[in-house]
Structure 1
């Protein structure tokens, strides 16, 4: 429901929840998940502890909201890059580079949020089931890029496993159909799309994850150059022009 359609009490609640999340993100940026404390957020906002729990029942409840938001924002950024590529003549290789750049740009601009959605933020935390669909929305725009590719022998085993996955999980076919409708009737095209998106995710997370965690500090390479080389090799592996 749009904010304008909400009553005053509901608008106040949504505004307060948004302010709590903003305070939490500042804590994450300053010290990571270990620094996230509901009592500190309550103090910063001039709320009592019990008052804060009316908006988020626990730290995990707050983490759920932050993770959902992060996935949604990342999906918006990558979806925007896909839309811009579709608006002008662009080859599959160019589209892949554009999507990869959007993925990295979002992560580098929001490193604390990127690290939050990559892996378990705290021991024992279990993300809500709906984050799966949100994660797939981030990778969805990569699917049509690979659907018409020509996979080489090096990635053929991944394509084969994706073919088996399609046969065992109908929801996976629905995910492909949402982003690569032209491939829906062709199992081989769907398998190529899934294999390419999976490998793109692995390549991107490897490079971008190291960068956002500061692991490239002091090394003599440009991250842009490294990522461009990785994406170029992936494009070659799928015969993307």
Structure 2
């Protein structure tokens, strides 16, 4: 039995070559984030990353087939990081306010990661469907928390439109009015976050944390 266990561990363990490849890919992504922080995602250059690592361009392309594949990995990592953070909060039974606080904390911890996902689209880049699937996890957590609130106000014309075109909430049992409120929470909180992270509140004498909390209270009817 012990021999079989050892054999199983051996088959499941990464080889030195695989570990090295994973380390190099991780370093490439780290250098990419540094480049994004300096010049923005649209200026991402694999050749510049290769040079900073002492690699040739062709050598780096053995790890990522091109710029778009690298960007996709960064987008997946960003979405996965947020989804994991919100799942951890939801597992403790935290309400919508807890999820909202976790979203803001995640965004403030790394604004460049936030803007890669919700900032200006990168010219010529189209994210693959699996990144959208991770984003759907985040939206379902929001819908769960929103649907758990007191019954929302009667549906509006917009709520009916959302029910008709609810692919963004496909399979979720929330009624149209709850969909409407969830979407308002999502868009308005992101509006405050985007302005804060871009520095637009600087010099206005406003406390972005209090503004964010007040917006959430207004949206959930607790103001």
TM range (shorter): 0.7 to 0.9
**Greater CA deviation, 125-134 or 25-34?**
25-34
Which of 38, 45, 48 lines up with 1:37 in the alignment?
45
Counting matched residue pairs gives: 213
Q: 1:9 to 1:68 in 2, by over 3 A?
A: same
How far residue 111 of structure 1 moved from its aligned partner, in angstroms, is 0.3
SS in structure 1 of the partner of residue 165 of structure 2: helix
> Contact 2:153–2:177 at 8 Å: present in 1 too?
no
How far residue 135 of structure 1 moved from its aligned partner, in angstroms, is 1.2
Aligned to 1:146: 146
> Contact 2:140–2:169 at 8 Å: present in 1 too?
no
TM-score, normalization by structure 2: 0.85
Which of 67, 70, 73 lines up with 2:81 in the alignment?
73
Q: 2:157 and 2:98 mapped to 1: Cα distance?
A: 26
> Contact 1:144–1:193 at 8 Å: present in 2 too?
no
Aligned to 1:180: none
- Do residues 195 (structure 1) and 180 (structure 2) align? yes
How far residue 194 of structure 1 moved from its aligned partner, in angstroms, is 2.9
How far residue 74 of structure 1 moved from its aligned partner, in angstroms, is 0.9
Aligned to 1:179: none
Moved over 6 A (4+): none
- Higher RCO, 1 vs 2 (CA within 8 Å, ≥6 residues apart): 1
> Contact 2:156–2:177 at 8 Å: present in 1 too?
no
Aligned to 1:134: 134
> Contact 2:36–2:44 at 8 Å: present in 1 too?
yes
**Greater CA deviation, 70-79 or 116-125?**
116-125
> Contact 1:13–1:55 at 8 Å: present in 2 too?
yes
**Counterparts in 2 of 1:81-160, with a 5 A limit?**
81-84=89-92, 86=93, 95-148=95-148, 149-153=150-154, 156-160=156-160
Q: 2:44 and 2:163 mapped to 1: Cα distance?
A: 42
Which structure 1 residue ranges, 5 or more long, are not aligned? 177-183
Aligned to 1:220: 205
> Contact 2:139–2:169 at 8 Å: present in 1 too?
no
Q: 1:5 to 1:159 in 2, by over 3 A?
A: farther
Q: 1:194 and 1:8 mapped to 2: Cα distance?
A: 49
Aligned to 2:61: 53
C-alpha RMSD of matched pairs (Å): 2.4
How far residue 97 of structure 1 moved from its aligned partner, in angstroms, is 1.3
> Contact 2:89–2:98 at 8 Å: present in 1 too?
yes
- Do residues 232 (structure 1) and 190 (structure 2) align? no
